[in-house]
């Protein structure tokens, strides 16, 4: 039981996809202009990650070694297309804000990375839990970056404004994304060293 639980919790700290593995940087930087956007992007990625992990763990034994990467990419792309259609139908506003980065989940290295490193070698249940764990870790990291950028950039958290006027706009724009991520990595390194 403890073993299964650790599959989920490892994504938070030990194998955090953003701050430890430093994977999937494009959506991390591009969609975290506010806490809400970061959270939504994280959840969208988690949806694809869990489903692709489940399917890949099921088909991995019968997929020939030579073509396994193209097969995995097709599986992932299928779920991304599914997600696109669902989001267009039920949450068109979110789909519009995240824009290009929804189809680009296909090329998020976290998903292919988990397929290669975990799902292809483990059972269905473990792979699903791994998807949940890494997905939650990714969602959490994106939300944290979003919160920091929203506070600095527009003086608000989740759209709730606690400071009058505009913040430092640069943090909502491109440079702020790189700077915030850089400094958060420093902070994470510092904390990790202490433990």
Contact between 183 and another protein per CB under 8 A: yes
Burial class of residue 100, CB neighbours in 10 A (0-12, 13-18, 19+)? exposed
Which of these, 176, 179, 175, 171, lies nearest to 153 by C-alpha position? 171
- Residue closer to another protein, measured from CB, 3 or 195: 195
Q: Which of residues 133-172 bind another protein (CB under 8 A)?
A: 170
The CA R_g of the chain, rounded to the nearest whole Å, is 17
Q: Identify the residue among 26, 86, 163, 168 touching another protein (CB under 8 A).
A: 26
The shares of helix, strand and coil residues in the chain, as percent rounded to the nearest 5, are 75, 0, 20
Contact between 178 and another protein per CB under 8 A: yes
Q: Identify the residue among 35, 48, 87, 112 touching another protein (CB under 8 A).
A: 112
Contact between 179 and another protein per CB under 8 A: yes
Q: Is the dihedral of CA 138, 18, 13, 149 positive or negative?
A: negative
CB of 191 to another protein, least distance (A): 9
Query: What six digits make up the tokens of 25?
Result: 């940087």
Contact between 41 and another protein per CB under 8 A: no
Residues ≥6 apart with Cβ < 8 Å to 22:
185
Residues that bind another protein (CB under 8 A): 22-23, 25-26, 29-30, 69-70, 73-74, 77-78, 80-81, 84-85, 100, 103-104, 106-109, 112, 170, 173-179, 181-183, 185-187, 189-190, 193
């Amino acid at each position: 039981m403890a073993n299964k639980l650790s599959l989920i919790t490892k994504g938070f700290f030990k194998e955090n996809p953003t701050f430890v593995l430093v994977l999937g940087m494009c959506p991390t930087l591009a969609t975290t202009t506010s806490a809400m956007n970061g959270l939504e992007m994280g959840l969208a990625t988690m949806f694809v990650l869990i489903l692709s992990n489940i399917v890949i763990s099921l088909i991995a034994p019968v997929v020939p070694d030579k073509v396994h990467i193209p097969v995995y990419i097709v599986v992932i792309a299928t779920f991304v297309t599914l997600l696109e259609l669902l989001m267009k139908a039920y949450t068109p506003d979110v789909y519009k804000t995240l824009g290009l980065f929804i189809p680009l989940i296909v090329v998020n290295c976290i998903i292919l990375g988990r397929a290669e490193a975990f799902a292809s070698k483990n059972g269905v249940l473990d792979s699903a839990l791994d998807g949940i764990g890494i997905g939650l870790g990714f969602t959490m990291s994106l939300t944290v970056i979003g919160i920091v950028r929203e506070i600095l950039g527009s003086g608000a958290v989740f759209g709730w404004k606690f400071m009058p006027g505009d913040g430092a706009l640069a943090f909502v724009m491109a440079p702020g994304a790189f700077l915030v991520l850089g400094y958060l990595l420093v902070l994470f390194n510092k904390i990790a060293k202490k433990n």
